[in-house]
DNA sequence: CGGTATTTGTTCTAGTCTAGAACAAATACC
DNA sequence: GGTATTTGTTCTAGACTAGAACAAATACCG
């Protein structure tokens, strides 16, 4: 246990934590009654009343008039967030290899507006990317009704340091990009800008609002141009010392395998990446998302070659996942990106492979497609932004 | 973030957390002054005085008279634990394939007495094992001066469920053993008995008191009969959904490899386990610890074959570790067991292999031998026991 | 339709716990 | 011996919730 200096508790801490617990519960679980909030927190009715009163006073929540609910006793009023632009919101940004997205998101992860654009895989500089995002963001904010923006989160396809710099994003052609600073220059009023890796943020979103909600231990596999991943353990992200955890594409799986783009031989990505899939199908390895879509369509049409390609690839997916499952002991593996699209052609083989390669006590692991799909990383970016405010919501709101 | 019901804070929580923070700090960092405890916690002198007073009143700490320390100002008294049997202690048990150990351990992980015995690899039943441990424990307690025993921790070479049952320990021949219950039957007065995997507990000990102290993200490799491992992330253990995380020996590294004892093909253990090492050296694969010791001696004497065997094996160690490092992004990898003994013959090659196979931003990872050595798991078991009491020490002490 | 039962909101006081001021004590320095 | 500095002790103020008492709002029952 890493101990932090200066963490002695005091009355003010009590208040702050209780306010945070109530707001966080509403953020994750949705509107609920004051009475239920008492049960959730274990606090008395008077304490909950005062805490909700304070959150309401600073405009973070609203109390709806109580209505009869068919049971005896005084009905309890419902505590909810404000609709739309009446409450605070965050900006969520997503920068992938062939697309960019911006959303304005309110508490409860209410998407107030969202814009997504495709772009070519030609590598665009960070400066140009941020300029484009700024334009999209302005339009998004206006379209959302110009809510108060309290922060921003950014999901990037690359390795992101804890401080928010993009150390390297090979498929974007970026090295040592201070992305948070570039965005801060465009959005001078933002109080916080946090940057994270897209797979880690997608995992965060699936754990809170997607297929993995309620699962404290999971692995998320992001299969876009590269193979990325993320681990959630005991409800929290495993980011590692530098923030770079999750590079599952570079797990060595075959000492006699192919040379990877990273320079090593036999990485998992050389067997299950987009290029590997297309190569195995005898298609243009550089065919990108379009060719992958074609392959999926061929498989849906019953094309034997396409089906066999997915079967073989699924074997390798299972091969690499077996190691991850043996090491991390997750409840669930969530497949995103192209393996979410192709889940029907790979799911069973992956499960079979895990059944033979994972130790028996660890074998009860669910393998599922992402439910948030293309929005996973964007919602994760929004959560990242909210996580700055939720620990001390009233202070954030009043300063 | 997984939210827990009933976690509202109140005045009593403030007191409990502050008492815990002080005692935990002393447990991990050793005796220090009241004034320094004020700096550590951020609390006022009067608050710290009252908290230390309460810990002293229940016999958990003692305040040594202050002495001039050469600087101006009133010297601050030192807060320390009681010596030896005057303070509370825990029982630490360790059950490996060819040895058993028991220790009596006081706060601050002061080993008051320790007994360790070798035993054959013939599989001994859990019931017989516990009976033997009970005898050892009684002798240990007496030898330690019969301190008050407040709990017990057990490190086992096997897969341990969160609830403390040994799901399977292949090398012990155990399946579904309720070890905590067996021990509870022998030690009716114990307030708690917690069981954990030996690699996870060794990692805990190294992170708190060993070579990895202060490192929040690390990987521990236990190389005994089998290859086990553990991950510590952000200062906390990664145990996974069922508590079974860390089975690094069964990471698949070679699809064309050998059949593992677990039934799969190409597991890491088939290339870096004890039997693999001995096989590669042309020795008796069942030669065990003695033959490994001989191989190390041969290498020390300059035997070219022995050195080459270690070099080749180190390549495989690095091959598998590269995946772990890419996924977990640790600051440090700690090698225990036989690779701690043989570190001088494997360390450099492991580092070289990581340098070529780990992504550049993740490459700054230290590879070091365990400093706690054979005691690591035992001390980890003691920490496990203390972790039951430390969150609410006064309640533990007075009820 | 009035009385009863139940559940929750509001008001208020009691209690816990630390913050911080004021003064005391114990040192080193001049 | 006086001054400066640091920390301990004592005490009151303030923050915050616990919980009692009463009020309000419902459903149920005869």
**Within a domain: residue A190?**
yes
Tell me the two tokens of residue A328.
């991390």
The conformation of residue B394, written as its DSSP 8-state character, comes to: H
Q: Total structural domains in chain B? A: 3
| DSSP string for A202-268 | HHHHHHHHSTTTT-SSEEEEEESSSEEEEEEETTEEE--SSS----GGG-B--TTSPBPTTS-BSBT
Q: What was the pLDDT predicted at A322?
A: 97
3-state DSSP assignment of residue B96: coil
- CA–centroid distance for A68 within its chain: 38
Q: Inter-chain contact B240–A233, Cβ cutoff 8 Å?
A: yes
CA atoms within 13 A on the CB side of B138: 9
- Round the average pLDDT of chain A to a whole number and report it: 95
Q: Are A231 and A212 in contact (CB under 8 A)?
A: no
DSSP codes joined into one string, A5-45: TT----HHHHHHHHHHHHHHHHHHH--EEHHHHHHHH---H
Which one of A81, A105, A126 terminates a domain?
A: A81
| Integer Cα distance of A248 and B324 in angstroms | 9
Task: Identify the residue whose tokens are 């006022």.
Answer: B44
Give residues with Cβ within 8 angstroms of A96, minimum separation 6: A157, A198, A224, A377
| Spatial separation of the C-alpha atoms in residues B246 and B227, rounded to whole Å | 10
Query: For chain A, how many helices (H) and strands (E)?
Result: 14, 16
Q: Rounded distance, CA A282 to CA A303, Å?
A: 13
**Pairing between β-strand A99-106 and β-strand A110-118 as defined by DSSP bridges:** antiparallel
Strand C close residues, chain B 42-71, CB < 7 angstroms: 42-47, 50-51, 66-68, 70-71
pLDDT in tens, A4-61: 777 899 999 999 999 999 999 999 999 999 999 999 999 999 999 999 999 999 999 9
Cα–Cα nearest to A327, from B19, B125, B253: B253
The token duo for B81 is 């634990």
CA-CA-CA-CA torsion sign (B253, B255, B258, B264) = positive
Other C-beta atoms lying within 10 Å of the C-beta of residue B126: 21
B67 pLDDT tier (thresholds 50, 70, 90): confident
Contact between B359 and A322 using a beta-carbon 8 Å cutoff: no
Report if residue B42 sits inside a domain.
yes
- The bridge status of strand A99-106 relative to strand A89-95 is antiparallel
Looking at residue A359, the DSSP 8-state letter turns out to be -
**Which residues of B are less than 8 Å from A260 in CB distance?**
none
d(CA B26, CA B81): 8
Q: Do B235 and B355 fall into the same domain? A: yes
Q: Within its chain, how far is the Cα of A89 from the centroid?
A: 17
Q: Based on the domain organization, do A181 and A271 belong to the same domain?
A: no
Residue B84 CA to residue B384 CA, distance in Å, equals 20
Q: Which domain does B46 fall in, by range?
A: 11-81
The upper half-sphere exposure of residue B390, i.e. CA atoms within 13 Å in the direction of its Cβ, equals: 21
- For residues B70 and B95, state if they share a domain: no
User: Residue B1 above 60 pLDDT?
Assistant: no
What mean pLDDT is reported for chain B? 95
Strands annotated E in A247-395: 332-335, 366-369
CA angle (A117, A122, A127) in 5-degree steps: 75
Pairing of strands A149-156, A159-160: unpaired
Closest CA to A383 of A160, A209, A162, A144: A209
pLDDT at A3: 62
Q: How many CA atoms lie within 13 A of B291 on its CB side?
A: 16
Query: Is A208 part of a structural domain of the chain?
Result: no
B72 with B89, same domain: the answer is no
Whether residues A62 and A135 fall in one domain = no
Which is nearest to A219 in space by CA: A276, A165, A268, A149?
A: A268
pLDDT digits (tens, 9 = 90+) for A260-319: 999 999 999 999 999 999 999 999 999 999 999 999 999 999 999 999 999 999 999 999
Both B226 and B319 in one domain: the answer is yes
Asked if A71 and A101 sit in the same domain, the reply is no
Cβ neighbours of residue B355 closer than 8 Å, sequence gap 6 or more: B363
Residue B375 backbone dihedrals phi, psi, to 5 degrees: -85, -10
For A304, counting Cβ atoms within 10 Å of its Cβ (0-12 exposed, 13-18 middle, 19+ buried), the class is exposed
CA A119 – CA A102 distance, rounded (Å):
14
Distance CA B23, CA B60 (A): 8
Given pLDDT bands bounded at 50, 70 and 90, which one contains residue A164? confident
User: How confident is the model at residue B3, as a pLDDT?
Assistant: 62
Distance of CA B169 to the CA centre of its chain: 18
Mean pLDDT for the stretch of residues A61-75: 91
Which token pair is B315?
Answer: 């390549």
Question: Which residues from chain B sit within 8 angstroms of residue A2, using beta carbons?
Answer: 216, 234-235
Quote the CA–CA distance of A52 and A63 in Å, as a whole number. Answer: 8
pLDDT for position B66: 85
- Return the percentage of chain A with pLDDT > 70, whole number: 98
Question: Is B2 inside any structural domain?
Answer: no
CA–CA distance, A196 with B119 (Å, rounded to integer): 51
Helix (H, G, I), strand (E, B) or coil at B124: coil
Distances B216 to B333, B340, B387 between C-alpha atoms, Å: 12, 21, 17
Whether the CB-CB separation of A204 and A380 falls below 8 Å is answered with yes
CB atoms within 10 A of CB A39: 13
Same domain, A40 and A154: no
Specify the DSSP class assigned to residue B7.
Answer: -
| Residues pairing with B64 in the sheet | B78
Edge-to-edge strand ranges of the sheet holding B78-80: B32-33, B78-80, B62-64
Dmax (CA) of chain A: 72
DSSP 3-state of B183: helix
Contact A327 B247 (CB under 8 A): yes
Of B81, B97, B123, the last residue of a domain is B81
- Residue B11 has a CB neighbour count (10 Å cut-off) of 11
Nearest CB to A217 within list B9, B240, B252: B240
Phi, psi torsion values for B152, nearest 5 degrees: -145, 150
Report pLDDT for A279.
Answer: 95
d(CA A299, CA A307): 5
Question: Would the CB atoms of B326 and A247 count as touching at under 8 Å?
Answer: yes
pLDDT at B224: 86
Joined together, the tokens standing for residue B360 give 């550049």
**Hey, is B305 helix, strand or coil?**
helix
- Using the predicted structure, report yes or no on whether residue B257 has a pLDDT greater than 70: yes
Mean pLDDT of A80-100: 94
DSSP string, A66-112: P---SSSSPPPPEEEPPPGGGS-EEEEEEE-SSEEEEEEEETTTEEE
**Residue A147: DSSP 8-state:** P
CA distance B30 to A259: 51
Antiparallel, parallel or unpaired: β A62-64 and A78-80: antiparallel
Minimum-distance CB partner of A168 among B208, B236, B360: B360
Indicate if A177 and A237 belong to the same structural domain: no
Nucleotide in closest CA–C1' contact with A14: D16
Q: Residue A97 sits in a domain of what CATH number?
A: 3.30.420.40
pLDDT surpasses 70 at A73? yes
Residues of B with CB below 8 A from A256's CB? 256
Q: Which of B81, B100, B133 is the last residue of a domain?
A: B81
Residue A293 exposure: Cα atoms within 13 Å on the Cβ side: 3
The domain that holds A63 is classified in CATH as: 1.10.10.10
Q: What is the DSSP letter of B8?
A: -
Q: Does position B2 have pLDDT exceeding 80, yes or no?
A: no
Residues B221 and B287 in one domain: yes
> Both tokens of residue A340?
């979410």
The answer to the question of residue B363 being in a domain is: yes
Quote the distance between the C-alpha of residue B74 and its chain's center. Answer: 40
Q: What is the pLDDT of residue A84?
A: 87
Does residue A224 have a pLDDT over 60? yes
Q: Do B8 and A235 touch (CB under 8 A)?
A: no
Measured in angstroms, what separates residue B390's CA from nucleotide C12's C1'?
A: 37
Segment A124-149 mean pLDDT = 95
Mutant choice from A2, A5, A6, A8 vs B, greatest count of B C-beta within 10 A: A8
Q: Å from B39 to nearest chain A CA?
A: 7
Instruction: Tell me, yes or no, whether A2 lies in a domain.
Output: no
Cα separation, B350 vs B348, in Å, equals 5
pLDDT digits (tens, 9 = 90+) for B86-143: 999 999 999 999 999 999 999 999 999 999 999 888 888 999 999 999 999 999 999 9
- Alpha-carbon distance A29 to nearest alpha carbon in chain B (angstroms): 10
Query: Is A220 within the bounds of a domain?
Result: yes
Same structural domain, A103 and A225: no
Q: Is there a contact between B238 and A233 if contact means CB atoms under 8 Å apart? A: yes
Query: Has residue A67 got a pLDDT over 80?
Result: yes
Inspect the interface and report whether the beta carbons of B252 and A357 lie closer than 8 Å: yes
Which is nearest to A216 in space by CA: A232, A205, A240?
Answer: A232
Domain co-membership, A76 together with A93 = no
Listed as ranges, the nucleotides of chain C within 7 A of a protein C-beta are 5-12, 15-22, 24-29
Min Cα–Cα distance to chain A from B103, Å: 22
Neighbours of A5 (CB within 10 A): 10
Taking CA atoms, A359 is separated from A245, A326, B246, B247, B328, in Å, by: 24, 7, 11, 8, 21
Residues 6+ away with beta carbon under 8 Å from B285: B275, B278, B279
CB pair distance less than 8 Å for A329 and B239: yes
Residue B340 and residue B235 in contact, taking contact as beta carbons nearer than 8 Å: no
Q: Is residue B128 part of a domain?
A: yes
* Tens-place pLDDT, residues B230-255: 999 999 999 999 999 999 999 999 99
What residue is closest to D14 (Cα–C1')?
A: A11
Per CA to C1' distance, which residue is closest to C19? B44
Residues 41-70 of A with CB under 7 A from strand C: 45-46, 48-49, 66
């Amino acid at each position: 246990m890493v101990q932090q200096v200066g963490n002695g508790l005091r009355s003010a801490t009590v208040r702050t934590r209780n306010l945070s617990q109530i707001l966080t519960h509403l953020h994750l679980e949705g509107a609920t009654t004051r009475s239920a909030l008492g049960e959730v927190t274990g606090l008395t009715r008077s304490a909950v009343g005062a805490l909700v009163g304070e959150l309401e006073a600073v405009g973070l929540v609203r109390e709806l008039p109580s209505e009869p609910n068919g049971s005896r006793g005084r009905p309890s009023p419902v505590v909810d967030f404000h609709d739309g632009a009446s409450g605070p919101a965050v900006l969520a940004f997503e920068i992938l290899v062939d697309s960019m997205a911006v959303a304005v998101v309110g508490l409860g992860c209410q998407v107030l507006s969202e814009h997504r654009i495709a772009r070519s895989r030609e590598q665009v500089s960070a400066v140009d990317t941020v300029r484009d995002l700024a334009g999209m963001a302005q339009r998004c904010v206006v379209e959302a009704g110009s809510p108060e923006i309290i922060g921003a989160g950014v999901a990037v396809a690359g390795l992101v340091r804890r401080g928010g710099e993009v150390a390297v994003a090979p498929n974007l052609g970026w090295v040592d990009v201070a992305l948070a600073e570039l965005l801060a220059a465009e959005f001078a009023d933002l109080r916080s800008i946090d940057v994270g890796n897209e797979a880690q943020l997608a995992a965060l979103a699936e754990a809170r609002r997607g297929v993995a909600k309620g699962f404290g231990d999971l692995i998320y596999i992001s299969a876009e141009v590269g193979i990325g991943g993320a681990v959630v353990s005991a409800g929290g992200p495993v980011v590692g010392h530098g923030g770079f955890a999750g590079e599952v594409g570079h797990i060595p799986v075959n000492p006699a395998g192919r040379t990877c783009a990273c320079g090593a031989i036999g990485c998992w990505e050389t067997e299950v990446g987009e290029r590997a899939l297309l190569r195995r199908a005898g298609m243009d390895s550089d065919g990108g998302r379009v060719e992958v879509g074609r392959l999926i369509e061929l498989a849906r049409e019953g094309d034997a070659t396409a089906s066999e390609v997915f079967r073989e690839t699924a074997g390798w997916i299972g091969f690499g996942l077996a190691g991850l499952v043996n090491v991390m002991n997750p409840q669930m593996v969530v497949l995103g990106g192209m393996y979410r699209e192709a889940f029907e052609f790979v799911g069973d083989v992956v499960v079979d492979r895990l059944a033979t390669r994972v130790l028996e006590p660890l074998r009860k692991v669910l393998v599922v497609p992402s439910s948030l799909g293309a929005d996973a990383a964007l919602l994760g970016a929004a959560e990242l932004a909210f996580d700055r405010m939720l620990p001390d919501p009233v202070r954030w709101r009043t300063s």
